[in-house]
């Protein structure tokens, strides 16, 4: 199941820059300014490892993108990260370096800890709703910053969320991220990211979507925290689509579904946020700004129109 859950689709490149232009524009430093320590993880495009800057002694995390990978996708990833620089819930890009002898390139970010949310996602907690609220507050804030900056992540999942030493969360791995296009402009591929967190509109191969896809992924994570397991069975795209259709039918015909039946102790405010992020119609899906202003996060009474 773990291997299936993390199945990821690559994002096609949308930048026409040449590899040489990428390197010239970035003015890449050298990977030999850093000393590799331990491997933190391995993804589709390369390896992430902990390293030490030889001059300052700073601990960093470095994503190694092999020369054989799409170099234009690399510049897009760096650009999306840089656009969102400075938000406390988004990993900070510190440097971009290369190995001149191999052509490999590297993204250097702050080292915030070696653990992802996946490792403790289903740990027992005396107040599951309060834990979900704490986690989701950080994640929705990160999504809100991305979307305000005109960026979609397109692969939000527990494996791409770092648990910060000392508390808090940071969104990382922007390999599938892309600038948001104007309404009506299609994306080159609909199914980008990881199947289990893919929105309904992407699963039906729509190339017209928007940042609402990130909110759907956040709804899946919230459900996972509250129930202790994934929202859907991702054994196949067809199976997921059937489960989504069944869930939508029950919600529209009875006002409830299996997910909410499993959460009898979830507060009314919590249900509103969860249902809002998991709205099947992306135009009706709760935005990050709306979620952060909701009484489930603010503790304020519900606004009256």
Contact between 98 and 31 (Cβ < 8 Å)? yes
Contact between 117 and 161 (Cβ < 8 Å)? yes
Residue 1 exposed, middle or buried by CB count within 10 Å (0-12, 13-18, 19+):
exposed
Q: Is 155 a catalytic residue?
A: yes
The candidate with the shortest Cα–Cα distance to 114, out of 26, 49, 200, 211, is 49
- DSSP class of 49: E
List strand residue ranges (DSSP E) for 8-156, in order. Answer: 8-9, 29-30, 34-42, 46-53, 59-65, 93-98, 105-110, 115-116, 151-152
From 45, 155, 173, 214, active-site residue: 155
- Tell me the catalytic residues: 155
């Amino acid at each position: 199941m773990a291997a299936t859950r993390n199945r990821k689709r690559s994002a096609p490149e949308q930048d026409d820059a040449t590899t040489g232009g990428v390197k010239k524009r970035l003015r890449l430093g050298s990977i030999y300014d850093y000393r590799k320590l331990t491997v933190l993880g391995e993804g589709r495009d390369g390896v992430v490892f902990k390293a030490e800057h030889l001059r300052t002694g700073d601990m960093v995390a470095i994503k190694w993108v092999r020369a054989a990978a799409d170099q234009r996708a690399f510049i897009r990833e760096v650009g999306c990260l840089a656009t969102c620089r400075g938000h406390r819930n988004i990993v900070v890009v510190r440097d971009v370096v290369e190995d001149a002898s191999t052509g490999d390139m590297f993204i250097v970010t702050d080292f915030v800890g070696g653990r992802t949310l996946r490792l403790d996602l289903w740990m027992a907690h005396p107040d599951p709703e309060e834990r979900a609220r704490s986690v989701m507050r950080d994640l929705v804030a990160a999504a809100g910053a991305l979307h305000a900056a005109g960026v979609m992540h397109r692969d939000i999942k527990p494996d791409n969320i770092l648990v910060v030493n000392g508390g808090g969360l940071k969104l990382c791995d922007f390999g599938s991220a892309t600038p948001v296009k104007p309404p009506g402009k299609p994306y080159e591929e609909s199914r980008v990211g990881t199947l289990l967190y893919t929105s309904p509109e992407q699963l039906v191969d729509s190339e017209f979507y928007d940042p609402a896809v990130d909110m759907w992924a956040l709804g899946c994570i919230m459900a996972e925290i509250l129930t202790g397991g994934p929202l859907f069975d991702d054994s196949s795209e067809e199976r997921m689509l059937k489960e989504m259709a069944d869930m939508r039918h029950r919600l529209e015909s009875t006002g409830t579904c299996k997910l909410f039946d499993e959460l009898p102790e979830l507060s009314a405010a919590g249900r509103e946020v969860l249902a809002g992020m998991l709205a099947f119609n992306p135009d009706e899906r709760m935005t990050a700004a709306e979620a952060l202003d909701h009484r489930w996060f603010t503790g304020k009474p519900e606004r009256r129109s």
